Amino acid sequence: MFTLNCRGKLVVIEKPLVMGILNITNDSFYAGSRLQDPEAVLTRAGQMIADGADILDIGGQSTRPGSVRISEEAEMEKVLPAIEMLIKKFSAAIISIDTYHAAVAKSAVDVGASIVNDISGGTMDNNMLETVASLAVPYICMHMKGVPETMHHDPRYENITKEILDFFIKRINECRRSGIKDIIVDPGFGFGKTIEQNFILLKNLCLFKMLDTPVMAGISRKSTIYKTLNTEVGDSLNGTTVLNTLALQNGANILRVHDVKEAKEAVMLFEAYTKA
């Protein structure tokens, strides 16, 4: 069992949690997750909460392969009003800010976010770890090979599981030295990994338990699913549920998803199965 201190709200991970994705951008790889109108953000968040979302993950910067970066200021213009609006409407909600900019993380926490989710594990902004430590919030440390603009260009590993475990051992030590107390690791499915490499990671996900931190799996509707099935991203919900179930079997503590209801059902069935 793990616990996360989210600005005074204690989140206990006794069973797997579900994090709902709220992308305030027109460039997300999945069109169904693109939210720009404030009312649409509020409606989607409300539905996710009704469906049982434990955490809402808000991002204003697209990080799909080949995406184009926007400035910190533009990112703040997208996410800060949304976080303020959600906190006002859903005061008990646990909100994560999906950013690799320390300044965005600080501003987001200042207006109500209580988790920082960084795809770069602190490697794209040297101020990130110290900033998160000063904010005293949980930190999601993800592995990414390269940067979003080019990470899909022929990523190579000698032993992908070992290399990512080594990365996390080093980054967790850096996080601890900086003063971060609650750390979650995310292997970064699709971030500088081929389809085959993603399946190897999924198969070996249980090995990440040796890090003694919660493990997050974010594989929802990604190309590993729809390209393997020779379908489109819009038709990848069933495949997502299958891989989410495999992630749960291999020790995932948090599922980061576009479709909360189906993920919560997978968790419920997995819990019933493990207790039988």
Just list the catalytic residues: 222, 256
What is the residue-wise DSSP string for the chain? -EEEEETTEEEEESS-EEEEEEE-SS--SSGGGB--SHHHHHHHHHHHHHTT-SEEEEE-S--STT-----HHHHHHHHHHHHHHHHHH-TT--EEEE-S-HHHHHHHHHTT--EEEETTTTSS-TTHHHHHHHHT--EEEE--SS-TTTTTS----SSHHHHHHHHHHHHHHHHHHHT---EEEE--TTSS--HHHHHHHHHTGGGGGGG-S-BEE--TT-HHHHHHTTS-GGG-HHHHHHHHHHHHHTT-SEEEES-HHHHHHHHHHHHHHHH-
